[in-house]
């Protein structure tokens, strides 16, 4: 694994060098939220498989910027979650409890505006070019947030994969890289762990 300063430099390069992609992810996210607010509910299969795509985006960018550890981990997670998602039924995603919806919405918002790594950015700029879909922690925050809203897609394996990822990247980011705001990801991870139910498959 690269040294912390090398990892931080790589994350900063991705965040500042792929801003058009960041804007694309924010536009897609805005369209998705608008659809949800208008009453659309994805199936468990579609929702779960779709949420693997931002993780794949992180993997590809990490590989391109020579962070092969993140590239490999996020590739495995994306493939694993896509396979789990493909095996989910075509039933509509269940409505989560109110507390999970509240934390899920907060996690989506945190991933949307993730205030780190951009150079000379105003707060307004984080609304549309924060590194969501580009680097690990904001992307995991986003995916975990939507997973909470969808009641974990009623899947323990899905939730366990994201829980492991969330615990590792939140603690590694906060205590190894010094990005303290990554502890915000831990809140969503703990909430997702609490949401897992024994009857889920």
In the block, tokens 């934390």 appear at 103
3-state secondary structure string across 122-142: CHHHHHHHCCCCCCHHHHHHH
Q: What is the DSSP string of 53-114?
A: HHHHHHHHHHHHTT-HHHHHHHHHHHHHHHHHHHTS-SSBPPPPPHHHHHHHHHHHHHHHH-
Residues 6 or more apart whose CB falls under 8 angstroms from that of 195 comprise 96, 97, 100, 148, 151, 152, 159
What is the overall mean pLDDT for the chain?
Answer: 93
Nearest CA-CA partner of 162 in 175, 179, 145? 145
- Asked if the structure places residue 29 within a domain, the reply is yes
Give per-residue pLDDT as tens, 108-160: 999 999 989 998 778 889 999 999 999 999 999 999 999 999 999 989 999 99
pLDDT more than 70, % of the chain: 97
The average pLDDT across 165-181 equals 96
- Asked if the structure places residue 114 within a domain, the reply is yes
- Could you tell me the CA-to-CA distances from 18 to 30, 130, 153 in Å, in that order? 19, 10, 31
Task: Please tell me the distance from the alpha carbon of residue 143 to that of residue 85, in angstroms, as a whole number.
Answer: 13
Task: Please tell me the distance from the alpha carbon of residue 85 to that of residue 51, in angstroms, as a whole number.
Answer: 9
Q: Over 70: is that where the pLDDT of 199 sits?
A: no
Give per-residue pLDDT as tens, 61-94: 999 999 999 999 999 999 999 999 999 999 998 8
Local confidence band at 198 (pLDDT 50, 70, 90 cut-offs): low
- Asked if the structure places residue 43 within a domain, the reply is yes
pTM to 2 decimal places: 0.94
Local confidence band at 177 (pLDDT 50, 70, 90 cut-offs): very high
CA angle 185/119/136 to nearest 5° reads: 30
**Residue 48's domain spans which residues?**
4-195
The average pLDDT across 8-13 equals 94
Domain count of the fold of the chain: 1
- Asked if the structure places residue 149 within a domain, the reply is yes
Local confidence band at 201 (pLDDT 50, 70, 90 cut-offs): very low
- Asked if the structure places residue 200 within a domain, the reply is no
The average pLDDT across 167-178 equals 96
- Helix axes of 136-149 and 98-113: crossing angle, nearest 10 degrees: 160
Q: Are 166 and 188 in contact (CB under 8 A)?
A: yes
- Asked if the structure places residue 201 within a domain, the reply is no
């Amino acid at each position: 694994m690269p040294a912390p300063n090398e990892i931080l430099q790589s994350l900063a390069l991705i965040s500042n060098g792929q801003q058009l992609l960041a804007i694309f992810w924010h536009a897609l996210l805005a369209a998705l939220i608008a659809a949800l607010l208008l009453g659309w509910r994805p199936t468990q299969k579609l929702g779960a498989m779709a949420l693997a795509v931002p993780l794949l985006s992180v993997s590809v960018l990490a590989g391109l910027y020579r962070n092969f550890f993140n590239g490999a981990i996020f590739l495995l997670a994306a493939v694993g979650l896509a396979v789990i998602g493909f095996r989910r039924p075509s039933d509509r995603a269940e409505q989560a409890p109110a507390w999970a919806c509240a934390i899920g919405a907060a996690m989506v918002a945190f991933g949307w505006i993730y205030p780190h790594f951009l150079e000379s950015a105003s707060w307004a700029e984080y609304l549309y070019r924060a590194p969501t879909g580009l680097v690990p922690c904001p992307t995991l925050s986003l995916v975990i947030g939507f997973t909470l809203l969808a009641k974990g897609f009623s899947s323990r394996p899905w939730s366990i994969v994201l829980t492991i990822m969330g615990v590792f990247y939140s603690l590694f980011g906060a205590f190894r890289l010094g990005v303290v705001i990554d502890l915000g990801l831990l809140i969503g991870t703990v909430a997702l762990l609490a949401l897992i139910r024994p009857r889920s498959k």
